[in-house]
Amino acid sequence: MKTFEEKWTAWLDGQLSDRELAQFEALLPDKAAAEAEKTEAKKLGAFLKRELGARALTNEEFFSHQLRERIARERAGESRKSGGRRIEVSTWWTIRRLLWTGTASLVVFLVLAIFVMRDKNPAEQSQYLTQILNARVDPVVSPNATISMFETKEDRVTVLWTEGLQSLPADYAAK
Amino acid sequence: MQTEATLAQADVSELDLIRRCQAGDTEAFDELVTRYRTRVFGMIYNMIHSEQDAWDLAQDSFVKAWKSIKRFRGQSSFYTWIYRIVMNVTIDWARKKKIKAGGAEFDDAIQLKEIDPASKTVPKADALPYETMERSEIWARIDKAIAQLSPEHRAVILMKEIEEMQYHEIAEALGCSIGTVMSRLFYARKKLQNLLRDVYENI
Amino acid sequence: MARSLLLSAAFALVLGTATELRGAEMVWSGLVIAENVAQPHPIPPELTGIERPLKRLFGYNQFQVIGQSRKALQTGQEDWLATSKFFGLHVDARGESQAGYVLNLKLYKEKELLLETDAKLSKRSPLLIKGPQVGGGQLLLVLVVQ
């Protein structure tokens, strides 16, 4: 604790150690006035607790019901995505298809190697994915945002992935 | 009154619920929602004073909690963890709405000039006849006073005075230092004392 | 025989120079809202080429283009804007290399700058940027050299 404000708050909340308490109270120009302030702050706290502490959620069960529906929709969306992929994996790659695809890939590779790759600068091959050079978010607007980036060679896309940007209402999806 | 044993049991029961949630058990999550929905809603409502928006933001907070429950490691209480989500959602929303403090954003730097902490208490205004003040009037005064605080100051005063959270819990929920929590409490209390003294002194 | 040789030589010359010729290339920039819905609309034609990575990487089943711009790059120094009602994606091309275009991208929400990035956009590799959550969905930025 360094600032007067921090010490005052801790004193008011009874969070100072004995030594800190003695030191702090020695600094107070008018202890009686300070004690009166403390009493008043405690009155304020009790008042807020009494008046605001009982804000009720009307129709609690409907709240939970609505939330359950929403989570169920989220889960349905996720399982559709992963289930579809599972089906794709389990039904497409038969042994015959694997062999056929392997042979075709080899042929394609040879063709590319002979007729296409010879014309290309080797340096360019390593550059075929988009590169993120740097990225930043406004820390005032989005103090909790994080950025990461990755490339998927399979799809040949580069992704800049942000988390913690301020969420916006649906109105912002307008064209 | 709960004994230590029952509190420990409650903690164990909550950890068990969390583990089940992490395994995808929505009924366990439903139980956690039931435990916290009123407090979450109350906290958000006290922050933004709109029942419909508080409802929506409370829903958003729980959905985010569900989506990120696997990242909960038990290093803090679940209560603090969910409050972090609630505060992020609510403060983001409040900032977007630009709920300002009486024309100027309530700011510690501004207040430093206006409040001399070492000065004697400002003399009270003449008491108004609050013996007959209706509850709704009291709430309106409180809401108006709290609305003059910035979202961050609102959050600390509500978490301290209503939720009775410790400094470190508030700091964790808001993603700031304990010193910042204490400093914001100082200024928020001073501001509310100035605005509400005539109400709470005479009730 | 000679005619065949001549034709073959001419053909080889055309093929060879074709690889060197580079006309103006189009860069498509899009602001896309991705959502999960019960009955998704078909993917917009601008995104059909990257439908698979879009769905796989972001986990959504419907994509709607809310703002777009298509710019032909002649000098590699052009700049342009793709806008929707509340968002603006400013793209400033700052040069071209064999590998692609160096771009500075700025995402605005009304007047607020949310995100800025510099990227080397490859002619063979789209750039996808995950933006903020919007309602129940997500704003994505897509840049593709067409």
Question: Which residues, including other chains, have CB under 8 Å from residue A85's CB and lie 6 or more apart?
Answer: C56
Q: With cut-offs at 50, 70 and 90, classify the pLDDT of residue B67.
A: very high
Write out the residue range of the structural domain in which residue B185 sits: 108-200
What's the confidence (pLDDT) of residue A139? 79
B137-186 pLDDT, tens digit per residue, is 888 899 889 988 888 899 999 999 999 999 999 999 998 999 999 999 99
> d(Cα C113, Cα C106) in Å, to the nearest integer?
7
C-alpha–C-alpha distance, residues B3 and A76, integer Å: 42
Q: What is the pLDDT of residue A124?
A: 45
CA distance B111 to B109: 5
Q: Where are the alpha helices (DSSP H) in chain B?
A: 4-22, 26-48, 51-68, 78-97, 108-114, 135-147, 151-161, 167-174, 178-200
Residue B41 is assigned to a structural domain of this protein: yes
Domain co-membership, A118 together with A143: no
Please determine, for residue A86, whether its predicted confidence score (pLDDT) is greater than 80: no
Residue B82 banded pLDDT, cuts 50, 70, 90: very high
Tell whether B91 is covered by a domain: yes
- Count: domains in chain A: 4
The torsion angles phi and psi of B128, rounded to 5 degrees, stand at -95, 160
Quick check: B182 contacting A, CB < 8 Å? yes
Whole-number average pLDDT of chain A? 81
B60 contact A CB<8A? yes
Enumerate neighbours of A (3 or more CB pairs within 8 A): B, C
CA of B130, closest CA in chain A: separation in Å? 15
Q: How far is CA C92 from CA C29, C71, C89, C123, C131, in A?
A: 12, 11, 10, 16, 19
> Which of A1, A4, A6 is the mutation pick for testing B, counting most B CBs within 10 A?
A6
The shortest C-alpha distance from C140 to chain A (Å) reads 10
In eight-state DSSP terms, residue A170 is G
Computed over every residue of chain B, the mean pLDDT equals 79
Is B177 contained in some domain? Answer: yes
Q: Which residues numbered 124-153 in A keep a CB inside 8 Å of some CB on C?
A: 124, 127-138, 141-142, 151-152
Which CATH number belongs to the domain containing residue B22 in this structure?
A: 1.10.1740.10
C-beta separation of B48 from B89 below 8 A = no
pLDDT score at A106: 87
Residue B102 lies in a domain: no
> Does some domain include residue B103?
no
Cβ neighbours, 10 Å, residue C127 = 27
pLDDT, one tens digit per residue, over C119-143 is 989 888 899 999 999 988 999 999 9
C32 contacts on A by Cβ (under 8 Å): none
User: Residue A128 has what pLDDT?
Assistant: 65
Higher pLDDT residue, A119 or A47? A47
What is the interface pTM, i.e. ipTM, of the complex? 0.81
So what's the pLDDT on residue B100? 47
B114 and B55, same structural domain? no
Residue span of the structural domain in which A45 resides: 4-52
The yes-or-no verdict on residue A91 having pLDDT over 70 is no
A71, A86: one domain: yes
Which pLDDT score is estimated for B171? 93
How far is the C-alpha of C65 from the C-alpha of C141, rounded, in Å?
10
User: Same structural domain for residues B174 and B147?
Assistant: yes
Subunit contact A175:C84, Cβ cutoff 8 A:
yes
CA–CA gap between residue B42 and residue A52 (Å, rounded): 8
With a cut of 50, say whether residue B116 has pLDDT above it.
no
Q: Which residues of C touch A77 (CB under 8 A)?
A: 36, 59-61
CB atoms within 10 A of CB B115: 17
Q: How confident is the model at residue B102 (pLDDT cuts 50, 70, 90)?
A: very low
Pick from A73, A79, A130, A153 the residue to mutate for testing the C interface (most C CBs within 10 Å).
Answer: A130
How far is the C-alpha of B17 from the C-alpha of B23, rounded, in Å? 10
How confident is the model over B114-137, as a mean pLDDT?
47
Q: Which of B170, B104, B59, B119 is nearest to A63 (CA)?
A: B59
Output the CA–CA distances (angstroms, integers) from residue B84 to A115, A165, B38, B181, C10, in the order listed: 59, 15, 16, 14, 71
pLDDT of residue A99: 84
Tell me, what's the pLDDT at A84? 57
Contact by Cβ (8 Å): B90, B82: no
Q: Is residue B114 over pLDDT 80?
A: no
Q: Which residues of B touch A4 (CB under 8 A)?
A: 117-118
Residue B135: its pLDDT value, please? 75
pLDDT the model gives residue C139: 95
**Are A135 and A170 part of one and the same domain?**
yes
Own/partner pairs, A85-92, CB within 8 angstroms, 24+ separation: A85/C56
Residue A12 has pLDDT above 90, yes or no: yes
Taking 90 as the threshold, does the pLDDT of residue B36 lie above it?
Answer: yes
Domain identity same for A47 and A72: no
* Band of residue C17 on the pLDDT scale cut at 50, 70, 90: very low
CATH for B130: 1.10.10.10
Residues of chain A contacting B192 with CB distance shorter than 8 Å = 44, 48
Q: Grade residue C77 by pLDDT with cuts at 50, 70 and 90.
A: confident
pLDDT digits (tens, 9 = 90+) for C93-125: 888 877 788 899 999 988 788 899 999 898 888
pLDDT of residue A123: 45
**Greater model confidence, B143 or C18:** B143
Task: Report the C-alpha gap between C37 and A170 in whole angstroms.
Answer: 14
Name the residue among A124, A138, A162 with its Cβ closest to that of C131.
A162
